Structure 1
Amino acid sequence: MQARTAHGAGLGFRRELIAPLQAGMPAAIDFFELAPENWAGMGGRSARQLREFSERYPFVCHGLSLSLGGPGPLDETLLHRIRDFMREHGMTLYTEHLSWCADDRQLYDLLPIPQTEAAVRWTAERIQRVQDILGQRIGIENASTYVAPPGAEMSEAEFITAVVEAADCLLHLDVNNIYVNSRNFGFDAHEFLAALPLKRTCYIHVAGHYVEPDGLIIDTHGAPVIDPVWSLLADAYARIGGDVPTCLERDFNFPDLAALTAEIDIIARLQAAAPSIQRKAA
């Protein structure tokens, strides 16, 4: 299939949304995002439904289970499946979390990587291997975390920058994750944003979250985006320009398509209001 490059404002491709999208595709949606683990190798009705959309719209692959910072071997069988899947559907961008989620088996959680020089080298080498197999640079996403890993030799922003530079990869910026961590760990979200290697930004996530009764914020992707997160997204565009493809993540508690489209419209308005800035992501 002809390659399609994502641009503008997009939405996570979820099975619960397929029927509403088939009934009337909102003009505001420029692209979709999916987790390749959930779709690669799928046949039957699911494969036909995906093909219906991938023939008309760009898709971004956002991985969930590579465990880039984990102690176990990379799942190279999965990587080859992802590479073939992307080629089959003309997908040109792959991103993954800067975290670990497996040892001898999947742990089904995204855990923080110790912020050490050794971890930088280990993670960067694994990212380089991923890039070699996929034949392209990937974006790594700043993750939401709920515990600070021990033995830190640098700040989280310094760790992300060091990994990106050592691996020569790109940055997948998640502004909601920055906000969540800033509230849970007590730092300034805008200062953290400014400290990241923003010139490497290839992709952005924005999402909602849940606040526990004790004030702990959980990155759920199950609620509307709040104003401080929109403000952080606007700050990101002011620093890197508005031409970065940006996806609204919504994984459950789906409202009607009109409500989702209203949030996608906010992304588009913020992109249009931002300056056009030359970046190093390409």
Structure 2
Amino acid sequence: MSIQNQNLVGLGLRREMLDEFCEAVPEQINFFEVAPENWMTMGGMFGRQFRELTEKHTFYCHGLSLSIGSPAPLDTQFVQNVKHFLDLHNIDIYSEHLSYCSGTGHMYDLMPIPFTEEAVKHVASRIKQVEDITERPFILENVSYYAAPGSEMSELEFVNAVLNEADCKLLLDVNNIYVNSVNHGYDAKTFLKNMPTERIAYLHVAGHYVEDVDLIVDTHGADVIQPVWQLLKDCYEIHGIHPTLLERDFNIPSTETLLKELDQIHTIQQLTAEQKRSA
């Protein structure tokens, strides 16, 4: 895995964007991200349009259903299918959530893994299995969560322990840090500072829904708010500039509106780079 240019800004690709982006991709979009599960079996016109885009533009994959923390055996056939998809479209970047979404069946939601030493070793061993099959480095995302049953360590300790045990890269989700800091009462910037710079592959930023003063739901269905923009700026200052993806999964506005948020990311990257050069 090699990301040469760090000053990159990406957008999650949705099916309804295909017609527009097959005509032209705005210059603000340096890469696209897709969930392989949503595209692996797609054929017909959508499949042809997708292939047209992957042949011309850089794509990252961010999975939804690997269920890396599940107690059930790893679905190796699913991982083989993901590898075939990555190979077919020449995609090097594959990330997933530090969570699980299956047991005796698929739960269609991302559930928190207990923050325990046993879970650390379990997840790390499964990550190595996935890397052996995909023949690519595995990138793990810190997730939002709403309960922490059976925990023996903090979220910060757990995330770092898994990264170290698995010796894998990190997809650092800035919005998830903010969401968890409100929901679980910790300082977001302190958490951010304690993430391992050398393991960061790329970043996510997104909007969310405020349910109450102490409850935020990570929806990816709204504009990014100012405290999250500030945390992204803090992230660049602390860890350096990394490729950054805007997630928007529903309530999707026009491309013109999305580009304003992409421009905001570009601006923060440029200002940070200028500040570092003049320091």
What TM-score do you get using the length of structure 1 for normalisation? 0.92
CA contact 1:6–1:58 (8 Å) conserved in 2: no
1:11-22 to structure 2, matched below 5 A, reads 11-22=11-22
Provide the rounded CA distance (Å) in 1 between the counterparts of 2:3 and 2:146. Answer: 36
CA contact 2:10–2:29 (8 Å) conserved in 1: yes
| Post-superposition CA distance 1:111-159 (Å, at most 9, x none) | 1111111110001000111111111211100000011222x22211111
Provide the rounded CA distance (Å) in 2 between the counterparts of 1:11 and 1:186. Answer: 30
Structure 2: gaps of 5 or more residues: 275-279
For 2:80, the equivalent position in structure 1 comes to 80
User: Is 1:216–2:215 an aligned residue pair?
Assistant: yes
Range that drifts further, 84-93 or 264-273: 264-273
For 1:258, the equivalent position in structure 2 comes to 256
Given residue 229 of structure 2, which amino acid in structure 1 is its aligned partner? W
The structure-2 alpha-carbon separation of the partners of 1:186 and 1:5, relative to structure 1 and needing over 3 Å to count, comes to: same
Structure 1: gaps of 5 or more residues: 277-282
Provide the rounded CA distance (Å) in 2 between the counterparts of 1:120 and 1:37. Answer: 26
1:271 to 244, 269, 272: 269
Q: Identity percentage over the alignment?
A: 50
The structure-2 alpha-carbon separation of the partners of 1:160 and 1:99, relative to structure 1 and needing over 3 Å to count, comes to: same
| Post-superposition CA distance 1:202-252 (Å, at most 9, x none) | 01100000111565211110100001001111111112211x211100011
Over the residues paired in the alignment, what is the CA RMSD in angstroms? Answer: 1.8
Given residue 181 of structure 1, which amino acid in structure 2 is its aligned partner? N
Q: Alignment length, in residue pairs?
A: 272
For 2:245, the equivalent position in structure 1 comes to 247
Given residue 43 of structure 2, which amino acid in structure 1 is its aligned partner? G
3-state SS of 1:29 partner: coil
3-state SS of 2:56 partner: coil
Q: CA deviation at 1:107?
A: 0.5
CA contact 1:6–1:59 (8 Å) conserved in 2: no
CA contact 2:18–2:50 (8 Å) conserved in 1: no
CA contact 1:4–1:58 (8 Å) conserved in 2: no
CA contact 2:67–2:99 (8 Å) conserved in 1: yes
CA contact 1:4–1:57 (8 Å) conserved in 2: no
For 1:139, the equivalent position in structure 2 comes to 139
3-state SS of 1:274 partner: helix
Q: CA deviation at 1:4?
A: 9.1
CA contact 1:6–1:31 (8 Å) conserved in 2: no
Runs of 4+ in 1 over 6 A off after TM superposition: 3-6
Provide the rounded CA distance (Å) in 2 between the counterparts of 1:53 and 1:130. Answer: 26
CA contact 1:171–1:198 (8 Å) conserved in 2: no
Range that drifts further, 200-209 or 210-219: 210-219
Q: CA deviation at 1:259?
A: 0.9
What TM-score do you get using the length of structure 2 for normalisation? 0.93
